Amino acid sequence: MDKLKISVIGAGSAVFSMNLVKDLCLTDGLKGSTVCFMDIDKKRLDMVYGLARRYANEVNANLKFEKTLDRSAALQDADFVINTALVTSHAMEEMERACAEKYGYYRGIVFQDFGDFGILGSCLHQLKFMLKVAEEMEDVCPDAWLIQASNPVFLGCTLMTRKTRIKVIGLCHGHYGVFRIAEVLGLDPKKVTFQAPGVNHCIWMTHFYYEGRDAYPLLDEWIEKKAEEYWKTWDGSPLDVQLSPAAVNLYKLFGLFPIGDTPRFAGAWWYHTDLETKKKWFNKYGGFDSEIGWNYYLNGLRKKMEKMFQIYENPLTKVSSEIPPSISGEQHIPIIDAIVNDNKGEFQVNVPNKGAIEGIADDVVVEVPAIVSARGVQTIHVGSLPKHLTLHILRTHVIPMEMCLEALLTGDKRILLNMILSDHRTKSYEQACKVLDAILNLPFNEDLKKIFQ
C-alpha cells in the first residue's frame, strides 16, 4: 500500500504511543508510512511527536510524523485508525467513585460482577466517544480499519460494529496472562500454545499445550502441591492476579482456567465486598481493583509520564537508549503489517462472533483467535464452552452489555436504575435512585444528565 497513513487518536498516552512507534520502526514492510498523532492535550501531543521524531532518526527509520489537535484532520486519508483515547480523566473517575461510596457502594458503581464497564459515567462517556469516532470515519475514511485499544473494548466494539460499517478490531493484553502461568510453572513460553476465547476481560483457557502436550496436568499439580506456599510467599506487583486464589477458585467453579483480567471481572461479587476480602482472594494488596492496587496503578502511570517528559525536555538524552529498539509485543502494528503486506499471522482479536463461539449471538463481539492477512480477519471456530460457563458469560457480561448499550441509545434512565438495582450492594430502591441521581449530577456528567432525563 503506497503512502500508508496510520492515525493515533488519544496519542498523549506516551508510553503506548512510543511502543507503536518502536514497532513501526522495526517493521520493514511499513517503512515510508505517515504516522499522525492526534490529542486534545497540546503539551502531551508535542512531547509524543518530538520523541517519535527523535527515536526514528536515531534508528534510521523511514517514517513521517504529523501532529494535530483536530480529529477530522487526523482521520483524513487514514488507512488505519488506532483509538487509545480516554475521554474522561482518572481524577473524574475517582470523584465519581467517592460519590458512589457515600451511598454504600464500595469502590463505586463499576458493575464489577457484570464485567469491565469501568466507572459508570466514564463508561458512558467512552461509548459515546467511540461511536462518534466510528461515525466520523464513515464520512472521512470509510475504508479504513479501526483498531480499538482503550476500554471498554467489549461494549464499544459491539456498539461500533452494529451501528456503523467500519471495520473494527478490538485488542487487549489479557491473553498474555497465559505466559505468566508458564513463568510460574517454569515453562519456556516459546514452547507454549493455547486458546483463550470468551468476551473481553472474561476469557478462559480451553487449550494449554507445552511442547505439543497437554499442560493442564502441570497446572493441576502446581495447584495441588505448590499454590498455598506460592500465595504465602508471593511478593509481586499488586496488579498480578493471574494465579491468585480467585483465579484458582474460578477454575474449580467452571472447569477452565481464567486468563488475564478475568479473575477481576468474572462475575464473582464475593471477591470484592471489602478490602480484607480482596486481600484474601487476590493478594496482600487486594489486587488491581483495591484502593491500594488502584493507587499503585495510577502512581505508575504518573511516574511513566514524568519520565517521558524528562526524556523529551533533555535533547541530549538518546531516546532509543531509554526505549531500546525491540518488538514491544503489542499486536497493533503486526496486525497492520499482516493486512497491508499479506503477512498472515494468528492474533487474539475482539470482533463480531459470527459463529466463532457457539451459544453467543453473531453480532456480539467476542475475543477469539483469528488469522489476519490481506483478506482481513478470519476468526477461528473455537466451538462451545462448557454450557454452564456460556450461561454465566451471557448472564454476567452479554446481557448487562445489551442493557448498557440500550440505555445509551435510548436515553432510558430506567435501564441504568435497573442495573444498579441488580447490584448485590443495593439494599433499597431509594438507595439506587439516590446514587444514580448523585452520579448524573456531578458537573462533568452534565451531558449524561441531559440524555437520561
Averaged confidence pLDDT in the chain: 95
Domain boundaries, the chain: 5-88+117-171
Query: Predicted confidence band at 219 (pLDDT cuts at 50, 70, 90)?
Result: very high
pLDDT at 117: 45
Q: Which of 79, 261, 337, 423 is the catalytic position?
A: 261
Q: Give the residues across from 377 on adjacent strands.
A: 372
Average pLDDT over residues 222-233: 98
pLDDT at 109: 85
pLDDT digits (tens, 9 = 90+) for 370-417: 999 999 999 999 999 999 999 999 999 999 999 999 999 999 999 999
For residues 108 and 101, give the distance between their C-alpha atoms in angstroms, rounded to a whole number.
6
pLDDT at 112: 45
Query: Predicted confidence band at 110 (pLDDT cuts at 50, 70, 90)?
Result: confident
Query: Predicted confidence band at 115 (pLDDT cuts at 50, 70, 90)?
Result: very low
pLDDT digits (tens, 9 = 90+) for 344-360: 999 999 999 999 999 99
Residue type, 233: T
pLDDT at 188: 98
**% residues pLDDT > 70 (the chain):** 98
Locus of grid cell 467452571: 254
Q: What secondary structure letter does DSSP report for 368?
A: E
Burial class (CB in 10 A: 0-12, 13-18, 19+), 448: buried
The rounded radius of gyration (Å) of the Cα atoms in the chain is 22
Q: In what order do the strands lie in the sheet with 213-214?
A: 192-195, 207-210, 213-214
Respond yes or no: is residue 23 known to be catalytic: no
Closest to 175 (Cα-Cα) out of 200, 158, 154: 200
Closest to 309 (Cα-Cα) out of 66, 23, 57, 51: 51
Q: What secondary structure letter does DSSP report for 164?
A: -
**How many CB atoms are closer than 10 A to CB 355?**
11
Cell numbers given for 434: 439516590
Q: Which of 41, 143, 173, 342 is the catalytic position?
A: 173
Residue 111 predicted with pLDDT over 80: no
Q: How far is CA 99 from CA 45, 88, 92, 102, 441, in A?
A: 32, 16, 11, 6, 10
pLDDT at 338: 98
Query: Predicted confidence band at 3 (pLDDT cuts at 50, 70, 90)?
Result: confident
Average pLDDT over residues 183-196: 98
Query: Predicted confidence band at 13 (pLDDT cuts at 50, 70, 90)?
Result: confident
pLDDT digits (tens, 9 = 90+) for 235-253: 999 999 999 999 999 999 9
Residue 197 predicted with pLDDT over 80: yes
Residue 113 predicted with pLDDT over 60: no
Domain 5-88+117-171 CATH superfamily: NAD(P)-binding Rossmann-like Domain (3.40.50.720)
**How many CB atoms are closer than 10 A to CB 342?**
12
pLDDT at 273: 93
Respond yes or no: is residue 28 known to be catalytic: no
pLDDT digits (tens, 9 = 90+) for 255-314: 999 999 999 998 889 999 999 999 999 999 999 999 999 999 999 999 999 999 999 999
Average pLDDT over residues 10-34: 93
pLDDT at 114: 42
pLDDT at 164: 98
**CA dihedral for 232, 236, 239, 242, sign (positive or negative):** negative
Residue 24 predicted with pLDDT over 70: yes
Average pLDDT over residues 32-43: 97
pLDDT at 360: 98
Residue 183 predicted with pLDDT over 80: yes
